[in-house]
């Protein structure tokens, strides 16, 4: 490369960097769309709206939540992957971003290659709930009833590869039962049918289930994992009943399309970090039984590492359960 070509190359790089910096300084100048690829009313939708409201205060622009639900979250995720990488279309998503690699033979995007991670937002436990008329009065009776009547019990979930599906798979494996799975397009519709008595059981995030339990619309049998939940102190942990192999929590993360300018990603990460540290946000999430992550985890590096871990571990869970890619 001649000196003239080298100078031209360096000058072009400098102009590109300068343009990116100026763009980031001005960003955002119009409303931002935050895509939640599941139906309104579910826990993901609630979490997304909490963070949209918090982050818009720090960014100075309205953040509008969009819910293009369907196909295990891929419809909304594709929308973000194909959006202009300018910081105006974002994706809030949980474990399905990792599991969809195992769920689809020909996924129209790659969860790592087509997105810029902004940061983790929440970490939340799961709880096993049932319709109010379900005959078991406590956790031991619930386990016994499932084992004795597995062919008659329906298990709702928010779609193959969703958090509630994964929790349901773990529960069936741990108890040695095979229930009748009823998939929905999101937790909201599944929870509505559970409250209406159309389905029997659901294992899902506390952000969606705890308010309904406290309102007396459904009943809780177990907090998934080793310990009870502060939001449901009278509900035993699954480990208390000697149930092993049932332990899963769900983390939501925020992404932008690949190629989004680094200064824009940094501005979004800063807004996310301020939001996870906001006492109002933390209190709102804790009232739903979930937690905002620390500011150290609300970073692109932490989210990238978390996604890789979920891709490696949860793909194996689906394979073991015999779930085949579509």
* Residue 251, C-beta contacts closer than 8 angstroms, at least 6 positions apart: 94, 95, 120, 121, 122, 123, 124, 293, 306
Q: What is the mean pLDDT of the chain?
A: 91
Q: What's the pLDDT at 22?
A: 56
The yes-or-no verdict on residue 83 having pLDDT over 70 is yes
pLDDT at 257 over 60: yes
Q: Is the pLDDT of residue 13 over 50?
A: no
Residue 104's pLDDT is: 87
H-helix or E-strand spanning residue 219: strand 218-223
Strands 154-157 vs 201-205: parallel, antiparallel or unpaired: parallel
Backbone φ, ψ for residue 84 (5° rounding): -65, 130
Tens-digit pLDDT profile for residues 177-222 = 999 999 998 888 999 999 999 999 999 988 889 999 999 999 999 9
Higher pLDDT, 185 or 278: 278
The angle subtended at Cα 227 by Cα 223 and Cα 229, nearest 5°, is 55
Q: How many CB atoms lie within 10 A of CB 151?
A: 9
Q: For residue 321, is pLDDT > 90? A: no
Question: What DSSP state is assigned to residue 198?
Answer: S
pTM, 2 dp: 0.78
Mean pLDDT of 300-311: 96
Please tell me whether the peptide bond between 56 and the residue prior to it is cis, using omega within 30 degrees of 0.
no
C-alpha distance across the termini of the chain, in Å: 50
Q: Is the Cβ–Cβ distance between 175 and 242 less than 8 Å?
A: no
Whole-number pLDDT of residue 4: 58
Distance CA 139, CA 227 (A): 14
What does DSSP say about strands 250-257 and 115-124: parallel, antiparallel, or unpaired?
A: antiparallel
Whole-Å CA distances, 164 to 20, 61, 156, 234 = 41, 33, 8, 22
3-state helix, strand, coil in the chain (%, to 5): 45, 20, 35
Q: Does the structure show a pLDDT above 70 at 24? A: no
What does DSSP say about strands 32-35 and 291-292: parallel, antiparallel, or unpaired?
Answer: unpaired
Among the ranges given (15-29, 201-215, 287-301), the one the predictor scored with the smallest mean pLDDT = 15-29
Torsion sign over Cα 78, 82, 83, 86: positive
Write the DSSP assignment of 284-316 as a string of letters: HHHHTT-EEPPTTTSSHHHHHHHHHHHHHHHHH
Using the predicted structure, report yes or no on whether residue 33 has a pLDDT greater than 90: yes
Contact between 152 and 179 (Cβ < 8 Å)? no
| pLDDT for 7 beyond 70 | no
Residue 122 three-state SS: strand
Q: Check whether 10 has a pLDDT greater than 60.
A: no
What pLDDT is recorded for position 284?
92
């Amino acid at each position: 490369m001649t000196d003239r070509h080298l100078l031209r190359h360096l000058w072009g790089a400098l102009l590109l960097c300068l343009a990116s910096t100026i763009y980031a300084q001005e960003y955002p100048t119009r409303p931002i769309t935050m895509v939640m690829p599941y139906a309104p009313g579910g826990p993901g939708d609630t979490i997304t709206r909490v963070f949209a409201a918090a982050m818009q205060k720090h960014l100075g622009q309205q953040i509008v939540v969009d819910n293009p639900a369907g196909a295990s979250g891929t419809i909304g995720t594709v929308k973000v992957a194909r959006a202009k990488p300018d910081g105006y279309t974002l994706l809030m998503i949980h474990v399905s971003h990792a599991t969809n690699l195992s769920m689809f033979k020909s996924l129209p995007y790659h969860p790592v290659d087509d997105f810029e991670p902004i940061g983790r937002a929440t970490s939340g436990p799961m709880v096993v709930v049932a319709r109010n008329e379900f005959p078991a009065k406590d956790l031991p009776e619930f386990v016994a009833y499932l084992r004795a009547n597995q062919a008659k019990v329906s298990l709702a979930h928010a779609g193959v590869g969703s958090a509630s599906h994964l929790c349901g798979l773990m529960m069936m494996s741990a108890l040695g039962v095979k229930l009748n799975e009823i998939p929905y397009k999101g937790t909201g519709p599944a929870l509505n049918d559970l409250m209406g008595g159309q389905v029997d059981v659901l294992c899902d995030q506390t952000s969606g289930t705890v308010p309904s339990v406290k309102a007396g619309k459904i009943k809780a049998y177990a907090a998934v994992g080793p310990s009870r939940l502060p939001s449901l102190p009278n509900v035993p942990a699954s480990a208390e009943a000697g149930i092993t192999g049932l332990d899963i929590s769900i983390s939501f993360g925020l992404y932008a399309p690949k190629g989004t300018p680094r200064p824009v990603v940094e501005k979004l990460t800063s807004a996310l970090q301020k939001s996870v540290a906001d006492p109002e946000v933390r209190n709102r999430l804790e009232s739903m039984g979930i937690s905002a992550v620390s500011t150290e985890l609300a970073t692109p590096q932490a989210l990238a590492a978390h996604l890789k871990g979920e891709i490696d571990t949860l793909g194996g869970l689906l394979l073991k359960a015999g779930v085949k890619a579509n």
